[in-house]
Amino acid sequence: MKTINKLKAYYLVILAGLFLITSCNKDLEQFAAIPKPVYPTGSGIAATLAANANYTMYTALITRAGMTNLLNDSTRSFTVFATDNTGMKIFVSAASGGAIPPTGAPDATYLGFISGTLPVTSAVPIVQYNTVGTKFPAANIGTAFPNYPLTSLIQLDPVNQPFVRMPIFPVRGTVSYVNNLPLIATDMAAANGIIHTAFSIAAPPAATLRTMIAAEPTLAYFRAAILRADSGAVVKPNNDSTNFLNYLLGYGVTNMTVLVPNDAAFQTLIFGLVYSQVLAATGSIPIAIAQANAAVALGPGIFSNPVFYGSITAATVKGIIAYHFLATQPSPTSTTGVVPNIRVFSNNIPSTPLFFVKTLVNGGFAGHQGVMAQATYAGPVATSVNFSSYGTFPPGGAPFSYTANSVTLDKHAVNGVYHIINKVLLPQ
């Protein structure tokens, strides 16, 4: 019995030992986990603006757009180009068609317009356009010409290509800008982003260059010239991509700058060309004047009149029109890759002379110097811009001595910006 008891104790010790050892079994080897994002706490952008008395109207605009929760979402990061109440009043005045003055009315009037009169369908794209889905502090606003496109929340093709966005264009010049609007304050911090304050609302464009130019009463010659440049002998429909320039003006996801001579500019050029040719042929000034007036009287139809196909060739017109599309070029000697992919607002042009911008002409003449541009500023705002061409009229003048002045600046379209000028620029 004693032996058995000893054995029992012996076995129990063994079993206990086994149990203890087996209890040490381990789970799968694990690694330090890839950290999930830690979301910030504190006031979001909408809440930060709402807490600031200078932004009650932009806050109302956000509310009207139904984007308060989005802009307070701590899981996301934004940069908002907001507008303070002063700027918002200017916006309200314009949006009301002048019915509400830009200053002087009670704040409730402006707030009432924003919250009640302004269509939601207008409020949403405005806030979306002025919102960028990343943190972009003022220090990151670069000085490179012409600007640094950022992708706003406006989607141009939300179903098929949701990443195609309406860009917004900050840049640093003498001051910082968004598009052509000076930023009057920067880097207001919110938990989920950054707020910069623009002088006024940067309104999102709603139409393409082609649509907007088509609606301009003083640009009929330009429209006709575009068609002539594209068509050769046959006018092609708008949606034909071989109809290059016209198609380009209507293509929504391009990013262009077009210098658009007005009708008077074309008439002046046509008058001068006909006059000089007839005078050279006849030696008679009256005849030259008469024929020049007759040509001008034909209006824009001169470009589609087969009688003039021989003297106004499609290639000539294409060369001239291409010179009005600003572009970038990978290198001065590159003959390919010249693309109209810059959106040059007036404030992107320096006030200093000898500033040259490439054009589509560089696609055929790689070494062409392009267009010389110079802006005149009043404070941070460019009040006018001069564009000088290599060629002159009459021919033979010094390069870049032939200068067009801006008539209207910063006409903003979905796919670019155009500036109306008073002369037709000549590439050679």
Smallest separation, CB 196 to other proteins (Å):
16
- Do residues 271 and 295 make contact, with C-beta atoms less than 8 angstroms apart? yes
Task: Using CB under 8 A, pick the residue from 32, 108, 120, 378 that binds other proteins.
Answer: 32
The CA distance from 382 to 405, in Å, is 13
Give the residue with the Cβ less far from other proteins, 100 or 166. Answer: 166
144: contact with other proteins by CB under 8 A: no
- The DSSP call for residue 176 is E
Per-position x/- string for 110-139, each x denoting binding to other proteins as judged by CB under 8 A, each - no binding: -----------------------xx-----
The CA distance from 35 to 1, in Å, is 63
- Which range of residues in 20-28, 363-371, 378-386, 415-423 is near other proteins by CB under 8 A? 20-28
- Do residues 132 and 78 make contact, with C-beta atoms less than 8 angstroms apart? yes
The CA distance from 379 to 381, in Å, is 6
264: contact with other proteins by CB under 8 A: no
- Which range of residues in 4-12, 172-180, 182-190, 210-218 is near other proteins by CB under 8 A? 4-12
Query: DSSP for 291-358?
Result: HHHHHHHTGGGGGG-GGGTTTS-HHHHHHHHHTTEE-B-SSTT--S--B------GGGS-SSS-EEE-
CA of 359: how far to CAs of 171, 375, 384, 390, 406, in Å? 21, 18, 20, 12, 18
Give the residue with the Cβ less far from other proteins, 187 or 216. Answer: 187
Task: Using CB under 8 A, pick the residue from 90, 164, 203, 426 that binds other proteins.
Answer: 164
Task: Using CB under 8 A, pick the residue from 1, 5, 33, 283 that binds other proteins.
Answer: 33
SS3 78: strand
Task: Using CB under 8 A, pick the residue from 66, 162, 353, 399 that binds other proteins.
Answer: 162
Per-position x/- string for 66-95, each x denoting binding to other proteins as judged by CB under 8 A, each - no binding: -------x-xxxx-----------------
The CA distance from 343 to 345, in Å, is 6
336: contact with other proteins by CB under 8 A: no
Task: Using CB under 8 A, pick the residue from 1, 2, 5, 25 that binds other proteins.
Answer: 25
Q: Which residues bind other proteins (CB under 8 A)?
A: 3-4, 7, 11, 14-15, 18-19, 21-26, 28-37, 73, 75-78, 133-134, 148-151, 153, 155, 160-165, 167, 192-193, 253, 255, 341-342
